[in-house]
Structure 1
Amino acid sequence: MDDSDQNCPLSELALQIAKDELREDEKTRKFALEQMREWIRKNPRIIFCRTDNSFLFRFLRVKKFSIPIAQETLEKYLLLRHAFGHLMFHNLDIKNPVMEELLSLGYLFVAPKRDKNGRRIIIARPGVFDPYKFTNQDMCHIHAITYETLMEDEENQVFGYVHFADGVGFSFPHLTLFTPKEAVRIVKNGERIIPMRHKEVHGINAPAGLKYVIDFGMSLVSEKIRKRVKIYNNLDELHKHIDRSLLPKEYGGEMPMAEMIDLWRKELLKYRDVLLTNDKMSVRLDMYSEAAKEGSVSALKSGCGIGAKKEGVDYVTGSFRQLAVD
């Protein structure tokens, strides 16, 4: 897929934020897309990868148009799709009865309106996830469907995301869904490799008896993300930080949760075929180390665990200075 001739779909506000925060303009967009496509074409480790604007821009924007870092992150993403394909990335079908049930329960969905900064609000209610009925694969799949759908929208790529979680009902059995090793790999690789700009994280009703779990989770994310996490004691405190009109009626807003879920379901169905087609993306696994193929955090940190098999690939250097990622 290649839509390089299409007009930029960003609104005036998104264009301005892209310029101010991401160093993005018409010239950098055109140059960066050319470089990314040429690199993919010449990379012997990549068998197939999407090359349409929306897909490539998500990596360029999250790395503020530092082309070498965007290229490296894209390749790590493709390898991560292999490492956790069975658990998270493959067969992301919202029509799957289990996915539909989790969506209808309101386990994870996205509010229809954007906040004053243009951001979508991702709403999570982990307590409604029955750990005796559903599996860790079910949990990963609904998260992947949600995030991959959001990333298809270029406005979301620029504005970033706000997360809101309600901890009511979350308990010890939920912790048995993943081993500590799996949790570390998923959280750390997810933050570093999934191209999303997480701007704010808000939580309410955190289980007092599971404080050590929250502390462990916070230790897995970067200092940048930790500073953006806020936990509140009640809805009144939350409303000081999130416009209550954007939240479901059950959390002080205006629109009932069920109505929000129905609207989000329509968005998911719109991108269903795209998400399923993503399963075609693949890399030559024989050119990676065993640790990288298994999703090792350390192996995916630098060079994709390629070791001595780096020959044949040139990452663009010197095109843009490497900036701190926001």
Structure 2
Amino acid sequence: MTTTENILPSRLRDKNSNNEITRSLIEKQKAHIMQELFKIADRELRENEIVRKQCLAHLREWIKQNVDIENCITGKFDLKKYSGTDMSRAHAITYETLIADQENQILGVNHVADFDSITPAFQSFPMRHKEINFINLPAPVKYIYDIVKQTFSQKLKDRFVIHDSKEKLLNRVDKLCLPFEFGGEMPAKEMIQMWKEELNAKRERLLSFDSINLLSDRGIIRTRNITAHDNTGTESLPGSFRKLELD
């Protein structure tokens, strides 16, 4: 069970922990949510159960036959490439946990970033970043952003939203998703504790990422060397897997 599933019903369970009717309603709600998730996956990702199983089977077989990959789960995530601070590590652990959850894979992630004490490090990650909301953005950073965003596609521009107050943030993001300190209902301390519990429940999987190893990058297709890779072993992969490019 994910933290996102727990946030809303947790208080209800605390008050009615012995109430069988309440537990039954929560289970029915979860079942309904999963059905809605499957509809979203079919509509936005063109993914149904048959397609998902076929794609996973093809990809797993390709990974198994690829001599350049060892202990692959999601790919090599090299923290040495960026700042080695605890904050960077916390982000890596957070995203690795989120991306392993089916609900987040389907719905995507809506970010709320408080730039009051931002660090310069930045990483990309293969998640569905639906929207990124900034608050307390420093004036120099906003100036640079206003210049750079001119190069963004309209779709990307629509995903970046800058708020100059908590009130405007609440107009964009449901307060149930925000901590009390930002106008929500649940204190940040309580949210953080719930997230720690989920991380602890998935500790073994997170630690297993340390064994991931890319033996060689010779088979990686990049836009600058796409013509040099005619024999990467991807010919047998269907659709989007064959066309996957990395920058």
TM-score (norm 2): 0.72
* Structure 1 position 263 matched with structure 2 position 183: no
Identity of aligned residues (%): 35
- The 8 Å contact of residues 47 and 283 in structure 1, kept in 2 or not, is answered as yes
What residue is the counterpart of 2:15 in the other structure? none
Separation in structure 1 between the aligned mates of residue 69 and residue 153 of structure 2, nearest angstrom = 29
- The 8 Å contact of residues 87 and 137 in structure 1, kept in 2 or not, is answered as no
User: What displacement does 1:280 show?
Assistant: 1.4
What residue is the counterpart of 1:316 in the other structure? 236
Query: In the alignment, which of 208, 211, 222 is matched to residue 277 of structure 1?
Result: 208
User: What displacement does 1:209 show?
Assistant: 3.9
5+ unaligned residues in a row in structure 1: which ranges?
A: 1-8, 56-76, 89-134, 293-299
Give the structure, 1 or 2, with the largest relative contact order (CA under 8 Å, sep 6 or more): 1
What residue is the counterpart of 2:50 in the other structure? 27
SS at match of 2:104: helix
- The 8 Å contact of residues 176 and 185 in structure 2, kept in 1 or not, is answered as yes
Amino acid at match of 2:170: H
Distance change in 2, residues 1:317/1:232 (3 Å): same
Distance change in 2, residues 1:322/1:312 (3 Å): closer
* Structure 1 position 46 matched with structure 2 position 69: yes
* Structure 1 position 86 matched with structure 2 position 80: yes
* Structure 1 position 18 matched with structure 2 position 18: no
Amino acid at match of 2:222: K
- The 8 Å contact of residues 149 and 157 in structure 2, kept in 1 or not, is answered as yes
TM-score (norm 1): 0.56
- The 8 Å contact of residues 39 and 315 in structure 1, kept in 2 or not, is answered as no
Query: What are the equivalent positions in structure 2 for 1:278-297 lying under 5 Å apart?
Result: 278-285=209-216, 288=218
| Deviations 1:157-207, CA, capped at 9 Å, x for gaps | 00100000122345xxx44xx5xxxx6xx4xxx1xxx22001111122222
SS at match of 1:148: helix
- The 8 Å contact of residues 234 and 242 in structure 2, kept in 1 or not, is answered as no
SS at match of 1:316: coil
User: What displacement does 1:256 show?
Assistant: 1.0
Separation in structure 2 between the aligned mates of residue 320 and residue 283 of structure 1, nearest angstrom = 22
Amino acid at match of 1:313: G
* Corresponding pairs, count: 212
SS at match of 2:116: coil
What residue is the counterpart of 1:202 in the other structure? 133
What residue is the counterpart of 2:157 in the other structure? 226
5+ unaligned residues in a row in structure 2: which ranges?
A: 1-30
Amino acid at match of 1:196: M
Distance change in 2, residues 1:320/1:258 (3 Å): closer
| Deviations 1:59-100, CA, capped at 9 Å, x for gaps | xxxxxxxxxxxxxxxxxx43xx3xx24356xxxxxxxxxxxx
User: What displacement does 1:251 show?
Assistant: 1.1
What residue is the counterpart of 2:113 in the other structure? 165
Separation in structure 2 between the aligned mates of residue 45 and residue 231 of structure 1, nearest angstrom = 42
| Deviations 1:231-259, CA, capped at 9 Å, x for gaps | 12212211111112321111111111111
What residue is the counterpart of 1:241 in the other structure? 172
What residue is the counterpart of 2:7 in the other structure? none
SS at match of 2:205: helix
SS at match of 1:231: strand
- The 8 Å contact of residues 44 and 313 in structure 1, kept in 2 or not, is answered as no
Separation in structure 1 between the aligned mates of residue 176 and residue 205 of structure 2, nearest angstrom = 31
| Deviations 1:247-292, CA, capped at 9 Å, x for gaps | 111111111111111111111111122111012122222x539xx8
Separation in structure 1 between the aligned mates of residue 114 and residue 238 of structure 2, nearest angstrom = 45
- The 8 Å contact of residues 108 and 129 in structure 2, kept in 1 or not, is answered as yes
